[in-house]
Structure 1
């Protein structure tokens, strides 16, 4: 059985959503971020990214990590691409050309969007959004997102989804990264096609089930 190491309130959300979309059986092994604990190495501490037993599985100390019948993978985007390829169906590429496009958009999400969107969500998570430094961080990140969001908006003006006119792993990977920045409503007003696409992606049973898992974590 597929084991997913992580928690829903982390990048593991992408992998939980992916598994739910595919309808595959999986075991969730809760692993929290080491920085969230006062002493991640204390006796009796929750399993976390600095726990020796987890580091044996993933020496980089990152979640999500999966163990799929002995195949251990880290990196959420790589995990999702692997799961789509293994289980096939509409979320996977239907041709070599689609595979190239799915890979391109997935890497684009990391290189063009995540480095900025993550700064926004981390500023809010650390309750710094009302501070001068936090406001500046959000403003800079939002400004740097305008160009890639414009590229995406132009693509979605002509297409319902990123690849093949259907929801694929590329949409899932990208929309989960964009979710980090959705707090900035003024930013997204300029990109109506992106917002409509986000709504389509979020109007899926598997997404709602994943978000329920996040809510249950408190």
Structure 2
């Protein structure tokens, strides 16, 4: 049985969304980020990324982490791709070409979308978008995203999903990396096909189930 380490309020949301779509049984170990605790090493601290028990699983001290009968993966997008390839049915690749494209979309999401999307999230979370400096930071991050979003917009002009007309792990990986920038309403409005695709992905019961559990966790 698969074991997923990590709370829903982390990048564990990616494999946890996929698992919700699949209805696949798995063991969930809710490891929390050490930085969210006042004393991560205290005797009453919950299992966290600095806990010796968890560091035996992932010496990097990062979540999520997956153990599949001894195969340990410590990168969220690698975890989702593994699950999709081995348990995902139509959520995973049906041909070598599809496998290559899903890997490419995952790398695109990680290298072109996630960084500037996180910059937007952090500025907005701290209320920085109400300051001159924050507005400047948002403008820089949005500009970094415009080229990859144009790439997505052009692709989605002809397809409902990244692999054509079929929702797959490629959509989960990419949508989750872009979700951090979703609060930048003006940027999303500039790319209506992307906005509609993201809303389509997030309307799925699997996402709704994952997000509900995420919201139920302490912030």
**Corresponding residue number in structure 1 for 2:124:** 124
User: How many pairs were matched up?
Assistant: 218
**Is this contact kept in 2: 1:98–1:164, CA < 8 A?**
no
Which residues in structure 2 correspond to 1:93-112 (within 5 Å)?
Answer: 93-112=93-112
Is 2:212 the partner of 1:212? yes
With over 3 angstroms needed to count, the CA separation of the structure-2 counterparts of 1:88 and 1:16, relative to structure 1, is closer
The structural deviation recorded for 1:130 is: 3.2
Q: TM-score, normalised by structure 1?
A: 0.95
Distance 2:129 2:47 in 1: 30
With over 3 angstroms needed to count, the CA separation of the structure-2 counterparts of 1:195 and 1:61, relative to structure 1, is same
**Corresponding residue number in structure 1 for 2:154:** 154
Which residues in structure 2 correspond to 1:170-181 (within 5 Å)?
Answer: 170-181=170-181
Is 2:62 the partner of 1:65? no
Q: TM-score, normalised by structure 2?
A: 0.94
Distance 1:126 1:8 in 2: 21
Distance 2:95 2:165 in 1: 14
Q: 2:3 aligns to what SS in structure 1?
A: strand
**Corresponding residue number in structure 2 for 1:17:** 17
**Corresponding residue number in structure 2 for 1:46:** 46
Between 106-115 and 20-29, the greater mean CA deviation after superposition = 20-29
With over 3 angstroms needed to count, the CA separation of the structure-2 counterparts of 1:132 and 1:50, relative to structure 1, is farther
Distance 2:148 2:140 in 1: 14
Q: What does the per-residue CA deviation read over 1:161-192, in whole Å, with 9 as the maximum and x for residues that have no partner?
A: 11142001001000011110000000111111
The structural deviation recorded for 1:69 is: 2.1
Q: Any gaps of 5 or more consecutive residues in structure 1?
A: none
Q: Any gaps of 5 or more consecutive residues in structure 2?
A: none
The structural deviation recorded for 1:140 is: 1.3
Q: What does the per-residue CA deviation read over 1:33-90, in whole Å, with 9 as the maximum and x for residues that have no partner?
A: 1111122112221111111111111011111001122221110000000000111311
Q: 1:39 aligns to what SS in structure 2?
A: coil
With over 3 angstroms needed to count, the CA separation of the structure-2 counterparts of 1:52 and 1:133, relative to structure 1, is farther
Distance 1:10 1:137 in 2: 24
Report the RMSD for the aligned CA atoms in angstroms: 1.4
The structural deviation recorded for 1:127 is: 4.4
Distance 1:46 1:216 in 2: 17
Q: 1:3 aligns to what SS in structure 2?
A: strand
